[in-house]
Structure 1
């Protein structure tokens, strides 16, 4: 261990529950000094102990940043009932609660707070920054617009039909019926291949989440079907041409998959109002290689670290 990690709970009057988070401190941390801080947001179905914390959070802490990796409400070690909800509005509100916490810490410079998000966390980071002006710089790592994904791949390209099914299921549960929980990934890569699934994102996601490579106790890939309507009705990039003005770094791999990070990255780079924006397309790199594979993450960090140093330190 080359840096210290402290696990904390954030209690804010704006929520009825705590947000669980890990703070990654620089190796030579001195609580008497002031540090730039970075909020690190996990992917959809992930948790703070996975890529947002143990890869990007740890790496940025080693470079002198205080990094806080948090679990989304209703997920991981954070509170909120019922469980297994992926609510974009609440995910964005979580960022505000974490910023509220950071600005109270005597060793955090409230004017030097950035955000980094991976996969769905990248889309949520972008969405949060549009209206949370305390965020001064944004890095999206293989970021996905979960609203678009919910209307397309996760909704069978039939958003209205999906909403009708959600409505029926919610009514059934309100009347005492059994909750429907969907695991969005196959149980194994072998099972996926036997089912004829060839999409690189599904196969690599299964390899990451369903094997020791990326498994974590709170890293679940299941969602409560009756609470998915909010995602179908949401767009991470809404008004980005007007409101997303902070410095922006978009990192994607050039191997497109069904989850759409390559497409979403190109779109937000073009749409963002940011005067200082950068698109990094890593060759021969897939979505899930940017989660934890040393070669891909090292190449990403070669740009991420100078980006945050320029906009939060210089």
Structure 2
């Protein structure tokens, strides 16, 4: 395969199938030279045409190689035989990430490999790095690393989610047919007004819709491979938050970028409290959690910081 500067469609093996990826190469790319490479990890339940398509070009413009990809069963990446699409399970996300690192490590023009995760991607990268020291540095933006408090504060609600997920898993096993749900109450057909009216936190719902909604900048109309619907047993896996419990085992230098005013701020701050490695923290008051997904000023602030950290 001939690779050129810009975005190149690639595949790599994980769980015995080909995962679909986009490899972003810097301007003037020369395969005889060595480059620092980044494996990207995206928010739940995104595909590679969302966060990776935003951060990939930005990091390539700063001289890095960036790999964004669809996890097993997401977007153009197939599910395993007998399984269903939209089954983004945390343990598999970590293993897919390890295989992405292996793919980058096999490229002759790749030097050091770093990890960059946004939202749930922060938890994926932090978890993957615990035992994968091929990843030399990690950066997490609006990360959901310390997600226990976020997910388990209301235990009754958490157990309701788990009960529903258990029932769905049993039915899917017995029938062989998938059951899909909208994990955040947002389906692919709702208007902004409908979603906000039904939401417990209207402001949060508004910014989420502006990105993920039917008419959002990276919603199902803008990104045909994306859907807000997800396999119904998701809560059985997403309620695990591994990285915060292994934070003190992470040895790689780490950068944490987050919004100090966002409702998700504790997912970063509580994680940082548990770190024992060399780490840097950059908090912004002027940006929201979702601003780091696509707002130009927020993306520039985060990618500038990540590039400076990885270049040290």
TM-score, with length taken from structure 1 = 0.88
Question: Which residues of 2 match residues 1-314 of structure 1 at below 5 A?
Answer: 3-12=5-14, 15-51=15-51, 53-80=52-79, 81-109=83-111, 112-145=112-145, 148=148, 151-152=151-152, 157-176=156-175, 179-183=178-182, 184-186=184-186, 187-210=190-213, 211-215=215-219, 216-241=223-248, 243-257=249-263, 260=264, 262-275=265-278, 277-310=279-312
Moved segments of 4+, more than 4 Å = none
2:123–2:144: 8 Å Cα contact kept in structure 1? yes
Shift in alpha-carbon separation, 1:270–1:293, aligned structure 2, 3 A: same
Aligned partners of 2:304 and 2:275: how far apart in 1?
A: 23
Partners of 1:119 and 1:213 in 2: CA distance:
17
Give the 3-state SS of the residue equivalent to 1:44 in structure 2: coil
Q: Distance in 2 between matches of 1:131 and 1:306?
A: 25
| Alpha carbons 2:119, 2:143 under 8 Å: kept | yes
Please, which runs of 5 or more residues in structure 1 have no aligned partner?
A: none
Tell me the matched-pair count.
298
Query: Residue 101 and residue 20 in structure 1: after superposition, are their counterparts in 2 closer, same or farther (change >3 A)?
Result: same
Query: Structure 1 CA distance, aligned partners of 2:146 and 2:47?
Result: 16
Verify the 8 A CA contact 1:26 1:65 in the aligned structure 2: yes
The Cα shift of 1:219 comes to 2.5
Task: Give me the whole-angstrom Cα distance separating, in 2, the residues matched to 1:24 and 1:166.
Answer: 37
Change (3 A) 1:147 1:72: farther
- Alignment RMSD: 2.2
TM-score normalised by length of structure 2? 0.88
